[in-house]
Amino acid sequence: MERIVKYNPATLELVGELDSTPLNDIPLILQRSRAAQAEWAARPLAERRRTLKRLQEHVASNVDSIAKVVCQETGKPRVEAINADLMTSLSAAMYSVERMPSLFRPRAVGFGKLSIMMRYLRRHSYIQPRPLGVVAIIAPWNYPFGIPFSQAVMAVAAGNAVVLKPSPEAPFTGLEVRKAFIAAGAPEGLVQVVIGNGSDAGNALASSDVDRVIFTGSTEVGRKVMAAAVQRLNPVTMELGGKDPMVVMGDADLPRASAAAAWGCYVNAGQTCVCIKRIYVHESVYQPFLEMFSESVSRIKLGYGWDDPEVGMGPLISDRAVKDMEAQVARAVEQGGTVLFGGRRTDMKGHFFEPTAIVDVEQSSDIVQKETFGPIVAILRFRTDVEAIALANDSSYALSGSVWTSDLARGRSIAERMSGGTVSVNNVGYTFGLASTPWGGRKDSGFGYTHGEEGFAELLEPHHVHVDRGRFARELWWHPYGREGLELSKGLVDIGFLGQYGRAAALLPRVRRRMKGR
Ligand code: NAD
């Protein structure tokens, strides 16, 4: 059994250690999930809502103690844990409680042009949404509470049980997710945690008897998770990597745009799937933008921001990540780029790397095209709207992006043409905290949704029920077949799809007679 040992990447102090879950336990864990899910789904809706309201209250009243675990495991500033992990979780809990009453409401299915006929035949269809069963959540370490909690609360609101596999970089935060549900009075087995490495525990969970796998992580691992899930045809939701563009138009509010860039590039030390990684600036404002941006970034204080509220950027998750940043900067320079600022690890104790910007790079260079999971941004210029959109869309990733302009109509028009699941006009990144808005990527950034109506749709089975009052003895297409049946079918095609309504008076009584069994 593997032992997971966790250090704080800011202080290099030991956070704790724990055993990984034996893989042989997974079937038993899933058995417990099934039992808990049945118990949960059988509870009256009002009671389930009360439980999730208590969950929201529990998280809101324990913000600091949960944030402490998040900060110890990731090294991020306390305010970032509160804003990005805790508030997004609370927003998802609030949205879930709000939406629960309507989630399970049956809804009628219309028949379009066939409606009159279906009414005559006394038939109707409806969707009775029902829970999927057990949802596996495989989570990353960068928002180790915010991401799995918001996915779990929506899954549970939709009547499912959850098995969460947190990243081995954030196992204790994963356990906090479970603790919150237990404290709120959810059944013991409703939200369980599997501790372990991805290639063992993650792989075993993705290929186990679950009803959906929600994976959030890198594109490379996403492919492995899909390959594991395909063994049982488990449906998957893939929330993968990004390389978000920021497009700054000539008429943008530059002080706001440059302050946004300083936050959007370096929040969570650049380890956010929707951090800005490419900035395209109109040539007319390129120089002033660079100056304002550099000035904003120079005021970001590095450190461990648990006790010091002025720390604006924490460490990277590991020394390997720092080495990766060093290699990416070296490659950018090798490919013709210039380091505008940063570019080095610091001499501080933890895994710190300076906020970094690279200019003078080609669109085709690695620093513009490959994922950078750290505090490096590439800045390029453009001349026309069309060119800006083409550059922004020239990426294998398409997670989100932003356009900055004082002309909102132009902003909307550009945003509508940019790739990505979410493109904002004059804002960046934060819509993950608006749980009613859909979250998901395209291309190498994945597919499927968490959050919003679209997210709930993936957590419920749209169970279709079709009801026939049995007005007629038989259907036109039932046995026995024969010449008359063939003629009637062909006649119906002519009337229904070729508009030969003149034939209806002769044909329909024959159809009726046949359906009455005569
Ligand atoms: P990762 O892909 O290394 O790991 C994610 C999870 O998958 C972890 O729990 C890991 O243990 C597990 N895993 C690893 N190998 C596995 C395997 N073979 N089978 C099953 N599970 C396996 O990602 P990370 O380093 O934790 O997180 C950073 C990545 O996540 C970045 O690429 C980032 O862009 C992405 N991300 C995406 C979103 C989004 O919403 N699209 C959000 C956050 C992070």
User: Looking at ligand 1, which atom is closest to the CA of residue 445?
Assistant: 41
DSSP 456: H
CA-proximal residue: ligand 1, atom 30 (nearest): 217
User: Looking at ligand 1, which atom is closest to the CA of residue 217?
Assistant: 30
Catalytic residue among 71, 265, 273, 275: 273
The residues lining ligand 1, judged by C-beta closer than 6 Å to any ligand atom, are 138-142, 147, 165, 167-168, 197-199, 202-203, 206, 216-218, 221, 224-225, 228, 239-242, 273, 371, 373, 399, 441, 446
Q: How many CB atoms lie within 10 A of CB 231?
A: 10
The helix or strand, by DSSP H or E, that contains position 390, with its residue range, turns out to be helix 385-393
If you measure from the C-alpha of residue 139 to the centroid of ligand 1, how many angstroms do you get, rounded to a whole number? 6
pLDDT score for 1: 74
CB 262 within 8 A of CB 296: yes
Tokens for 117, please give them: 């006929």
**In b/e form, how buried is each residue of 47-61, taking b as 16+ CB within 10 angstroms?**
ebbebbebbbebbee
Main-chain phi, psi angles of 104, to 5 degrees: -105, 5
The helix or strand, by DSSP H or E, that contains position 381, with its residue range, turns out to be strand 376-382
Q: Which residues contact 318 (CB under 8 A, 6 or more apart)?
A: 9, 169, 351
> For residues 504 and 512, what is the distance between their CA atoms, to the nearest angstrom?
12
CA-based nearest residue to 16, from 69, 64, 92, 89: 69
> For residues 326 and 35, what is the distance between their CA atoms, to the nearest angstrom?
49
> For residues 274 and 217, what is the distance between their CA atoms, to the nearest angstrom?
12
pLDDT score for 411: 98
> For residues 346 and 379, what is the distance between their CA atoms, to the nearest angstrom?
23
If you measure from the C-alpha of residue 219 to the centroid of ligand 1, how many angstroms do you get, rounded to a whole number? 8
CA-proximal residue: ligand 1, atom 16 (nearest): 198
Which segments in the chain show pLDDT lower than 50? none
CA-proximal residue: ligand 1, atom 8 (nearest): 167
Sign of CA dihedral 337, 338, 341, 346: positive
Amino acid identity, residue 283?
Answer: E
User: Looking at ligand 1, which atom is closest to the CA of residue 228?
Assistant: 19
Q: Which CATH number fits domain 18-104+132-240+454-460: 3.40.605.10, 3.40.462.10, 3.80.10.10, 3.40.50.300?
A: 3.40.605.10
If you measure from the C-alpha of residue 151 to the centroid of ligand 1, how many angstroms do you get, rounded to a whole number? 15
Question: 244-429 — its CATH code?
Answer: 3.40.309.10
If you measure from the C-alpha of residue 198 to the centroid of ligand 1, how many angstroms do you get, rounded to a whole number? 9
Catalytic residue among 73, 169, 176, 239: 239
The SS3 call for residue 436 is: coil
> For residues 110 and 98, what is the distance between their CA atoms, to the nearest angstrom?
27
DSSP output for 264-299: HHHGGGG-STTSEEEEEEEGGGHHHHHHHHHHHHHT
If you measure from the C-alpha of residue 225 to the centroid of ligand 1, how many angstroms do you get, rounded to a whole number? 10
If you measure from the C-alpha of residue 222 to the centroid of ligand 1, how many angstroms do you get, rounded to a whole number? 7
DSSP output for 223-248: HHHHHHHGGGT--EEEE----EEEEE
CB 252 within 8 A of CB 261: no
Is-catalytic flag, 71?
no
**Vertex 324 angle, CA 321 and 330, to 5°:** 150
CA-proximal residue: ligand 1, atom 11 (nearest): 198
In tens, the pLDDT along 317-329 reads 999 999 999 999 9
Is-catalytic flag, 239?
yes
SS (H, E, C) 314-371: CCCCCHHHHHHHHHHHHHHHHCCCEEEECCCECCCCCCCECCEEEECCCCCCHHHHCC
Domains of the chain: which residue ranges?
Answer: 18-104+132-240+454-460, 244-429, 472-515
pLDDT score for 340: 98
The helix or strand, by DSSP H or E, that contains position 193, with its residue range, turns out to be strand 191-193
CB 305 within 8 A of CB 68: no
User: Looking at ligand 1, which atom is closest to the CA of residue 273?
Assistant: 34
In tens, the pLDDT along 210-227 reads 999 999 999 999 999 999
If you measure from the C-alpha of residue 145 to the centroid of ligand 1, how many angstroms do you get, rounded to a whole number? 14
CA-proximal residue: ligand 1, atom 9 (nearest): 167
Main-chain phi, psi angles of 67, to 5 degrees: -60, -35
